[in-house]
Structure 1
Amino acid sequence: MLIGIFADSHDHLDHIRRAVEVFNEADCQLVVFAGDLVSSFAVPPLRQLKCKIVGCFGDNEGNKTGVTAGMRIVGTIGEPPFGFKTPDGRRILVTHMDRSLRGVEGDFDVAIYAHTHKPSITRDEQGRLFINPGETSGWSYGKPTVALLETTTMEAQIVPLKGTRD
């Protein structure tokens, strides 16, 4: 199963649209959002996704009620951290801030987080993946990125959003 991952879009509509294009071109079967969409007006571009989205709130959501209502059309969003299981049995944990992962015990194969705006893919000693897709917005570092995760092989990659302008 191919999962698209993005976070920290901070209302950058053009980059959200480009992230959707990347996920659709890759034929993602699910998209995971790790927080900081910010405003409800950032939800409509997500309607172009060809798959469902599962997301969590970040620490900069300005209109949780509006974002929640808008996300009902394309998927779900909730308070972090939370977990879910993919159809192929992978256990995914989603949060915004990596500090909420400290001391987390339990069964998960992949932890998706954000907040730092810096892309990162690491494995712990148990072989679990930790993925930060970086910032979709590009506001902080000028290098907008998303991530792709293939759950069958447990391989992930950071994907720059080419063709974006800041």
Structure 2
Amino acid sequence: MLVGIMSDTHDNLPAIRKAVEFLNEKNVELVIHAGDFIAPFVARELGKLKAPLKGVFGNNDGERKGLYEALGVCDEILEIEADGMKMAVIHGTDERIVKALARSRLYDVVIVGHTHRYEIREEGRTILVNPGEVCGYLTGIKSVALLDTRRREVKILDIESGELLGAMSL
């Protein structure tokens, strides 16, 4: 299964539109959002995804009831299993919780956002993936990650240039 991973869209509709187009072109089968949607009106663009969307709340998601109604987001921590690969999704505001999830040995992959900086690293036996920011506000780089559960690899890509920013085999 090819999984698209995004985070920190922060109401940037043109960037969200670009990310949706990018993920649709890659034919992802599931999209995971690691929080900081911000407001329910982002559903106008996220609703154009050809794959189901699952996500968690971030620290800036104030309109939680509206995000639930528009996108079905209702959790701060989410567990997902795809092709036998176990994933935890959390925004990542508290690094201690992120490390505890990674070190628990319950998950193959822990997906986070919050820092706006893309990263793939090993944390014990778990791979930690931060896709960076779709909005591009802090780093100037609009990025998403692609997780291929069959090939057991993850890549981070710039959605504007298509440039590979990082990759790791699991």
Partner residue in 2 for 1:6: 6
For the Cα contact (< 8 Å) 2:64–2:74, is it kept in 1? no
Q: Distance in 1 between matches of 2:148 and 2:68?
A: 27
CA apart distance, 1:106: 4.0
1:9-158 superposed matches below 5 A: 9-72=9-72, 77-86=73-82, 88-97=83-92, 99=95, 100-104=97-101, 105-126=104-125, 128-158=126-156
CA apart distance, 1:71: 0.5
Question: How many residue pairs align between the two structures?
Answer: 157
**RMSD over aligned Cα atoms:** 1.3
1:34-64 CA-to-partner distances (Å, cap 9, x unmatched) read: 0000001111101111110110000001211
Q: Distance in 2 between matches of 1:122 and 1:153?
A: 17
Structure 2 runs not aligned, ≥5 long: 162-170
Structure 1 runs not aligned, ≥5 long: none
CA apart distance, 1:20: 0.5
Q: Distance in 2 between matches of 1:52 and 1:2?
A: 12
CA apart distance, 1:102: 2.4
Identity %: 35
CA apart distance, 1:18: 0.6
Q: Distance in 2 between matches of 1:141 and 1:113?
A: 17
CA apart distance, 1:78: 2.6
For the Cα contact (< 8 Å) 2:99–2:123, is it kept in 1? no
Name the TM-score, length of structure 2 as normaliser. 0.88
